[in-house]
Amino acid sequence: MYYKILGLLFIVVTLEYPFIVCAKQCYQCSNRLNGANFQDCPKDGSVNPDKVYKADCKGHCFTRTNSTDPEVIYRGCVDEQYGLPDPMPKDGCYEHKNSTWCICNDDLCNAVPLGNWTGIDIFAHLNGPKECYTCGQTVDGEYYSYCPSNTTVNETAAGKQSCDGYCLTRTESSQPDMVYRGCLDSIKGLPYPLPPTGCYPYRNETWCICNGNLCNENALGKPNDVTLDDHVKGIQQCHVCRNYAEGQYYPHCPLNSKVIPESTWKENCTGACFTRTDDIDERLVYRGCIDSQYGLPKPLPPDGCYTYYLEVWCICHGNLCNGDGIGIPTVEFDSHIKNGTGTIHFMHLIYSLSRFCLFYFIKKIF
């Protein structure tokens, strides 16, 4: 009887609110309508979910700029767009016909501010993979002449690896005369977005980044006067990570202690940073920016830790403020709200119940 009740509840949720468990939607709007600014669909902020139209979508959601006016942006679904690659590349921001296109593949994922231009063409994944030289001038105390710091690499002897992002040549802080070459895809904790290609001082090292096939073949360049992260100083960022994914544990993002900053991704954030638990798996912790979350109380309560249905949410305002372990909740996340936001709370409850029912269905069957 217990599982039958859960089953009926899950069916009702699916029929009444199919977008929660089935269909995907995208926001569809522009920040410029008939010559006037539409503030609920901003370029550098998140959309107002109560004022912006949502459309069903089978493919990716997008946010893109206008090719003639980069201050004008559009949000929508790629199903209605023409001249795009098939298949689409992985989620991210790309160059396409003098516009920046940011694509994503989750429900209402294009609510967030426009991402940063990467210089990668949206068709690049169809034109063959880009590679970077990967080698070290000194490995385990042994010197390798084919990976020098002051001349070009030996292209037949040096290793190569596929790379979606920038290629790199950098020094070692403990051995400034030695260099390492590789791809930035595998290096965490770097500033986001990255600055233009060039050479920069960073962490008592010199980092030279470039964006082209095997572009890190040249000798180490002379660093600029600005550091690799100068352009993001003064911009609030949040740690973005989870401690478990597909059964693998990631120690740089622990539940009850501080993150390892050098190994943790960071993203720009216009709102609060958060650390939260999971309503199904008590081992899980997530960190990120509130900009990408939906169905939360509006306005948010003061910084602190709260219970929210079956989860604990800790929020804070400040650069990289969500690096600590999960805190102890005090009151309900929405206790400061008196009236008028029942829809937001009800939708979050429906979402939690649908996940709960699905979890028990799977557990019962398997």
Query: Taking the model in full, what pTM does it have?
Result: 0.49
For the chain, residues with pLDDT lower than 50 are 2-4, 6, 10-11, 13-22, 339-345, 359-366
Instruction: Report residue 146 CA to chain centroid gap.
Output: 36
Rounded CA gap, 112 and 131, in Å? 31
Matching residue, tokens 């385990």:
140
**131-136 vs 304-308, strand pairing mode:** unpaired
Euclidean distance between CA atoms 38 and 13, whole angstroms: 33
pLDDT at residue 354, as a whole number: 55
DSSP letter for 121, please. Answer: B
Query: Could you tell me how many residues make up the chain?
Result: 366
Q: With contact defined as beta carbons under 8 Å apart, do 187 and 168 qualify?
A: yes
Closest CA to 48 of 94, 122, 4, 112: 112
- Encode pLDDT of 13-48 as tens digits: 444 444 444 468 999 999 987 678 888 999 988 999
Domain ranges of the chain: 13-126, 131-232, 237-365
pLDDT at 350: 55
